Chains A and B, each alone.
Chain A
Amino acid sequence: MTDHAVTVEPTAWPEAARRSGTIRRALTNLIRFARRKPFGAVGAVIILALLVMAVFAEWIAPYSYDQQIPGARLRPPGREFLLGTDNVSRDIWSRIVYGARVSVTVSFATVFLGNVLAAAVGITSGYFRGRYDIAVQRVVDAWQSFPYLVIILSLLAVMGPGMLNVILSLSILVAAAASRVIRSATLSVVENQYIEAARALGAGHPRIMLRHILPNVMATIVVITTIGLGGIILTESALSFLGYGVPPPHPSWGSMLSGSGRTYMYLAPWMAVWPGVAISLVVFAFNMLGDALRDVLDPRLRGARGGAAPH
């Protein structure tokens, strides 16, 4: 794989916001963002709703996610149960709300962990270069040649089922891909003169990496993080289909869709429709927001990776 050096130019917009620092200025910028990138704004709103659902699930959901409501089996969506009930007499709306918590936990934890690892690998690789860089890149290359599902299935077969294990294996995957991009971004930052200057002034390596490089590749990280979040949710649902997803009792949207959703497809289509819509909507939102952020924060990034989300 060839490396495409990606130049990161801090654009004017975040500079302005940093300089002024007042709430009013921030709000104005927010509105400007919404006007320029309406899709991105819609995406942001959806994600906000997702986060609210995840954090305040206990207040929003009328029932617990494993509560078996007597006499309410396989009810279609209606007044009493907004999205209907499933075959174990559980309220689907409540399960969707709690499912948001699972989706948020798994995706955010994975992407956070993965990107921390990726940043460590990518920044050091791009900064130190030389033999260390070559060796690391070969390992990343090898790792990336594996179809992602193979790695995850093998890792999960080793570690066993469980939400934590799903997060760990997915984050290793995220780390490999993201480290590439971060390395490219680092390469271009390193070329800047003020890095040379800092070194001449006696700044140590860690200080330079943390204080000078990291902030400047942050924009890149933000963009790939946002798009990556959507991909993780899709991957988790694919894993559920294969039997390796987040196990019960946590109601993940993926397992709702691939499990009883598919079994009761004819008798109770609503059991599958709602988790499917939830997944699609949230992934859609992450992608839109990510695109918009990329356009605004780092226009040069558009050529790099195309933001593919694995199926």
Chain B
Amino acid sequence: MSQRQGGHGPEVSRRDLLKAGGTALAAAAAGPYVVGVRRAGAATPKPGGEFRFRGYTPPHFDPHLTASYTTMINLSFTHSRLLKHKAGPDVKPGTFEIVGDLAESWTHSDDKTYVFKLRKGVKWHKKPPVDGRELTAEDVKYTFDRFTSIKGNANHHMMATLAGTEVVDKYTVKFTLKEPDAFFLDFLANPMALCIVAREAVEKFGDLKKPEAVIGTGPWMLEGHESKVRTTFIRNPDYFIKGLPYIQRIEGIDFDDPAARLAAFVTGQIDAGPEFPGMMIRRQDWKIIKEKRPKLRYVEFPSNVMTHAGMRTDKPPFGDVRVRRALSMAIDRKAILQATAEGVGVMNPPIPAALIALAIPYDQMGDGLKWDTYNPQEAKRLLAEAGQGGGFSTTLEYATYGSQELIDAVQMAVKFWKDIGVEVKVVEKPYAAYFATSYQGKQDGLMMGPQFPALDPWNFMAQYLPDEPKNQSHVKDPVLADMILNTRRITDDKKRQQQIYAIQKHIADQAYYVRFPSGVYIAALDPALENFAPNLGYDYGGRMIAAWWNK
């Protein structure tokens, strides 16, 4: 049985954060970390009520034709997967324990076979053409077949090892893999790439892009969708867990401007923090929010969005590991945190520190730790040793993502590199051009930008394999590639964890990327909302299922 264990204890204490991120700094104003996660109390949940949050308009609603968070967040309310991540006040943010959603139980008879037993009596939404019929193993097979065969599925690599899906009986599905894949269950639990969809909807509408085709088995049903205005969901009375969900109506309101979002939050027009990804507020706004809306509940936890700078290790001078280490040592990460995140953040090993169960504890990184420590003199010495004593010049491509923090971080990094004699010319690209080129490693010198905030380790490791599109540093390291590919085959949890740690140590020592620290998110919630705990990832719906209004 491959089940993951969660973290230890419910609260995100300062010690935990320190262990996870090494030097988590607190600016004088911030004070000790605020613990706001509440356990399910003795009070009886009251059904009803409406929940308003800042929503997103997706390009469309078909999970097999986009990987966009805007789609996934919306589908997390309406659809179910075989497996999901545990949610609730006793889950520490940054941990992702896998539990069954549509799957009642599952077995793993050999390395390459998984058999899932589905819940009985799960009903599709009462919407034409599916009309509330029961979900069966056929639906699962249909979904996986479509996922793997449809053209234009940006996520299809997740099921690269899947050989076939088989219906054993009405409630039993068998997956056969081409080779052992330790991350198979992680992918099944991913929000919401592998949510189960209905054949009739695809046949009637051609694809699942239109709002009318959003038919799932999830706790809410799509009530209305006005593009770039709002999306509303209404409670599914036939949800397979009796009594859930409690909240009657959910409204996701779409609006662009951060100043307007803040004003709306301060005046109580939304029930949870308006910033991405999980009902957050910006740290700079915390003071004013505490003044104007004093009775809120706050939860802090590190972000898994890691910005890094990649470089052409296939071209001089970046092929020399000393040059890479020098570039990393030149950066004063604490100063960047000070300037962009009020000094509050976590240092990142190659897997972001926010993923507590997977990231190697920062102080265990070994030699890699040296290269992450600010030491401009040593950096200059290394450069000289590598024959670049006179410095060199290069370019850095990036897109602003509309983020002042990123713009500032880039400017500061360039300044730090200038101090050790490396002249970096900044080339700002519009997002579309950046995504098509620099993000896929087609830059000339350096590129810099935030990486996709995945929840599973494979995503962060796979990019070090040669010929992977996201291998921005053009890493061609056979030892590392072997280690990564082997990880897939390790079935023992503890051994796999050790391997993942070893991989991170190797990557850190080779300094293939200059990694920057991540900030700490602050989730802000209305105190009357019971039984809700924020977490990373797009599973808004999953976290809302058992929440209720205590007023």
Interface, chain A (partner B; CB < 8 A):
66, 68, 73, 87-89, 157, 160-162, 243, 247-249, 259-260, 262-267
Question: Please, which residues of chain A bring their CB within 8 A of the CB of B44?
Answer: none
> Cβ of A160 and Cβ of B430 under 8 Å apart?
yes
Tally inter-chain residue pairs, CB-CB below 8 A. Answer: 54
17 intermolecular pairs with C-beta atoms under 8 Å apart: A68-B335, A68-B339, A68-B412, A73-B339, A88-B411, A88-B412, A89-B339, A160-B429, A161-B430, A243-B400, A243-B402, A249-B426, A260-B404, A263-B258, A263-B284, A266-B287, A267-B284
Question: Please, which residues of chain B bring their CB within 8 A of the CB of A264?
Answer: 284
* Complex Cα–Cα for A247 and B411 (A): 11
> Cβ of B430 and Cβ of A267 under 8 Å apart?
no
Select B288's contact among A87, A260, A266, beta carbons within 8 Å. Answer: A266
Q: A263 with B404: in contact, given A66-B415, A161-B429, A248-B426 (CB under 8 Å)?
A: yes
Question: Please, which residues of chain B bring their CB within 8 A of the CB of A265?
Answer: 259
> Cβ of B415 and Cβ of A87 under 8 Å apart?
no
Kindly provide the distance from the CB of A310 to the nearest chain B CB, expressed in whole angstroms: 20
Question: Please, which residues of chain A bring their CB within 8 A of the CB of B287?
Answer: 266-267
Question: Please, which residues of chain B bring their CB within 8 A of the CB of A266?
Answer: 284-285, 287-288
> Cβ of B433 and Cβ of A160 under 8 Å apart?
yes
Question: Please, which residues of chain A bring their CB within 8 A of the CB of B429?
Answer: 160-161
Question: Please, which residues of chain B bring their CB within 8 A of the CB of A247?
Answer: 426, 428
Q: A248 with B430: in contact, given A66-B415, A88-B412 (CB under 8 Å)?
A: no
Kindly provide the distance from the CB of A295 to the nearest chain B CB, expressed in whole angstroms: 39
Kindly provide the distance from the CB of B440 to the nearest chain A CB, expressed in whole angstroms: 18
Kindly provide the distance from the CB of A108 to the nearest chain B CB, expressed in whole angstroms: 23
* Complex Cα–Cα for A90 and B415 (A): 13
Question: Please, which residues of chain B bring their CB within 8 A of the CB of A87?
Answer: 339-340, 408
Q: A262 with B259: in contact, given A88-B412, A243-B400 (CB under 8 Å)?
A: yes
Kindly provide the distance from the CB of B399 to the nearest chain A CB, expressed in whole angstroms: 10
Select A73's contact among B338, B400, B411, B414, beta carbons within 8 Å. Answer: B338
Interface size on B, residues (CB 8 A): 26
Chain B residues 335-379 with CB under 8 Å of chain A are: 335, 338-340
Chain A, interface SS category? loop
Question: Please, which residues of chain B bring their CB within 8 A of the CB of A157?
Answer: 430
Decide yes or no whether B202 CB sits under 8 A from chain A.
no
Question: Please, which residues of chain B bring their CB within 8 A of the CB of A263?
Answer: 258, 282, 284, 404
Closest 7 A-B residue pairs measured CB to CB?
A266-B288, A88-B339, A247-B428, A161-B428, A259-B404, A260-B404, A263-B404
Kindly provide the distance from the CB of B48 to the nearest chain A CB, expressed in whole angstroms: 35
Chain B residues 269-289 with CB under 8 Å of chain A are: 282, 284-285, 287-288
* Complex Cα–Cα for A247 and B430 (A): 11
Kindly provide the distance from the CB of A237 to the nearest chain B CB, expressed in whole angstroms: 15
* Complex Cα–Cα for A295 and B432 (A): 48
Question: Please, which residues of chain A bring their CB within 8 A of the CB of B410?
Answer: 248
Chain B, interface SS category? helix
Question: Please, which residues of chain B bring their CB within 8 A of the CB of A73?
Answer: 338-339
Select B411's contact among A243, A249, A262, A267, beta carbons within 8 Å. Answer: A249
Kindly provide the distance from the CB of A73 to the nearest chain B CB, expressed in whole angstroms: 7
Query: Closest residue of chain B to A261, judged by CB?
Result: B404
Decide yes or no whether B40 CB sits under 8 A from chain A.
no
* Complex Cα–Cα for A88 and B259 (A): 21
Question: Please, which residues of chain A bring their CB within 8 A of the CB of B339?
Answer: 68, 73, 87-89
Question: Please, which residues of chain B bring their CB within 8 A of the CB of A259?
Answer: 404, 407
Kindly provide the distance from the CB of B26 to the nearest chain A CB, expressed in whole angstroms: 15
Q: A66 with B411: in contact, given A88-B339, A247-B428 (CB under 8 Å)?
A: yes
Question: Please, which residues of chain A bring their CB within 8 A of the CB of B414?
Answer: 249
Kindly provide the distance from the CB of B541 to the nearest chain A CB, expressed in whole angstroms: 30
Query: Closest residue of chain A to B415, judged by CB?
Result: A66
* Complex Cα–Cα for A88 and B413 (A): 12
* Complex Cα–Cα for A157 and B433 (A): 10
* Complex Cα–Cα for A100 and B415 (A): 22
> Cβ of B258 and Cβ of A248 under 8 Å apart?
no
Question: Please, which residues of chain B bring their CB within 8 A of the CB of A162?
Answer: 428
Quick one: which of A87, A157, A160, A264 has the most chain B CB within 10 A? A87
Kindly provide the distance from the CB of A257 to the nearest chain B CB, expressed in whole angstroms: 12
Question: Please, which residues of chain B bring their CB within 8 A of the CB of A160?
Answer: 428-430, 433
Kindly provide the distance from the CB of A23 to the nearest chain B CB, expressed in whole angstroms: 47
Question: Please, which residues of chain B bring their CB within 8 A of the CB of A68?
Answer: 335, 339, 412, 415
> Cβ of A88 and Cβ of B408 under 8 Å apart?
yes
Question: Please, which residues of chain A bring their CB within 8 A of the CB of B411?
Answer: 66, 88, 248-249
* Complex Cα–Cα for A279 and B258 (A): 22
Question: Please, which residues of chain B bring their CB within 8 A of the CB of A249?
Answer: 411, 414, 426
* Complex Cα–Cα for A208 and B287 (A): 68
* Complex Cα–Cα for A161 and B414 (A): 18
Question: Please, which residues of chain A bring their CB within 8 A of the CB of B284?
Answer: 263-264, 266-267
* Complex Cα–Cα for A249 and B396 (A): 13
> Cβ of B258 and Cβ of A260 under 8 Å apart?
no
* Complex Cα–Cα for A176 and B439 (A): 38
* Complex Cα–Cα for A60 and B398 (A): 33
Q: A260 with B430: in contact, given A266-B284, A267-B284 (CB under 8 Å)?
A: no
